[in-house]
Copies of this chain bind each other. A is one copy, B any other.
Amino acid sequence: MPTVHIELFPGRTLDQKRACAVAVSEAIVKTLGGTYDGVDIVFTEVDKSNWATGGKLWSDKTTTPAPTPKPGT
């Protein structure tokens, strides 16, 4: 514990997941405490045809949101 579930669109590489697992585990331990080895992370890939926002499937959206600048930048 903690246990982290991350729902995301498919298409990330194994290296991206590796990096994400390290970065999120570190972020969790740094801010919430607990032990690094106790952090479980589960990635759930959700196809764009299975995710709707505002009543519209993402597979039907023609534009993807542009990257948003991080806060403070």
List residues of chain A with CB under 8 Å of any chain B CB: 1-9, 12, 14, 16-46, 49-60, 65-71
Choice from B38, B46, B49 contacting A14 with Cβ under 8 Å: B49
A18 contacts across to B, CB distance below 8 A: 56-57, 60
A9 contacts across to B, CB distance below 8 A: 1-2
Choice from B21, B27, B37, B59 contacting A68 with Cβ under 8 Å: B37
Most chain B CB within a 10 A radius of its CB, from A2, A49, A59, A67: A2
Cβ A51 vs Cβ B42 within 8 A: yes
The smallest C-beta distance from A12 to any residue of chain B, in angstroms, reads 6
Cβ B55 vs Cβ A7 within 8 A: no
